[in-house]
Chains A and B, each alone.
Chain A
Amino acid sequence: MKLSDREQDGIVILEPKGKIMGGPDATLLNDKLHEIIEAGQKRVVIDLSQVNWMNSTGLGILISTLTTLRNNDGELKLANVTEKIQSLLVITKLAPVFDSFDTIDDAVKAFK
């Protein structure tokens, strides 16, 4: 997995790319998240459009991100959730836990 980030209207957009399967992936995302929180940012969108698939480690990372942000008075929204990932969220009953949007713009607007 590769990870890039940018800012749009004061919201951090995280853009993972590839497969989220464990090991170094979790470290990369967790380190980035803590960097974001330490910088005072609390509103994050994860764009999943370029994630081929993720496993339970990836779902754990999403849960950890959501929990960490909420514990710091922040919030997480997901954008462009692919069919494969949505199916995993449904199977694991996690779909209602996350706010999901069809586009990044929609997710960013939802913070306002």
Chain B
Amino acid sequence: MDKPEISGNTIKIPPSHKFLADVDNFLESILREYKTEDSVIADIAISVSELVNNAVTHGRKAGNGNPVTVEINHQNNKIKVSVTDNGSGFNPDELDDPLADENLLKEVGRGLFIVRSLMDTVDIQTTNQGTTISITKTIQ
């Protein structure tokens, strides 16, 4: 796989950060169909970009070249987005606190914290064979 592939409400991208904009364009086009407010679109787009950034990084570390998959679903008044990679997983309990004084000026390490701050729910399923993070956000 060397370029994004779209099928219905799912986009798969090669494990490269250069495809972040493709995911963002796909996500925004779907959210606009549901007449989502700009501010909510931004919150979801920021969160998905964080998850895709992490998924690409994890996928690259695993070195398997497998794609990152982003699936978007709408039910009732909620949007659910799931981001899946085939990396080696991580322990969310071992992440540094980005608000701690010693971490405040670090350039990285606050992505998942931001996602948790912006979304209604965040569900993390991770093993040593891959990770799926699902987020939900009320859009109306």
Contacts and interface: CB of A to CB of B under 8 A. Distances in A.
A19 B22 CA distance: 13
A24 B104 contact: no
Contact of A88 (B16, B49, B105, B114): B114
A73 to B, nearest CB: 18
Contact of B24 (A21, A59, A88, A92): A21
Contacts of A67: 105
A56 B108 CA distance: 7
A93 B98 CA distance: 9
B20 A93 contact: no
B46 A53 contact: yes
A21 B113 contact: no
A47 B106 CA distance: 22
Contacts of B106: 63
Nearest to B108: A60
B15 to A, nearest CB: 12
Nearest to B39: A84
Contacts of B16: 23
A53 B42 contact: yes
B106 to A, nearest CB: 8
20 contacts: A19-B49, A21-B20, A21-B21, A22-B49, A23-B17, A24-B17, A52-B42, A53-B45, A54-B46, A55-B114, A56-B50, A56-B110, A56-B114, A59-B110, A60-B107, A84-B42, A93-B104, A94-B104, A97-B104, A97-B105
Interface of B: 16-18, 20-21, 24, 39, 42, 45-46, 49-50, 53, 98-99, 104-111, 113-114, 117
Interface of A: 19, 21-24, 52-57, 59-61, 63-64, 67, 84, 88, 91-94, 97
Which 9 A-B pairs give the minimum distances between C-beta atoms?
A23-B17, A60-B107, A21-B49, A56-B111, A53-B42, A56-B110, A55-B49, A91-B117, A55-B46
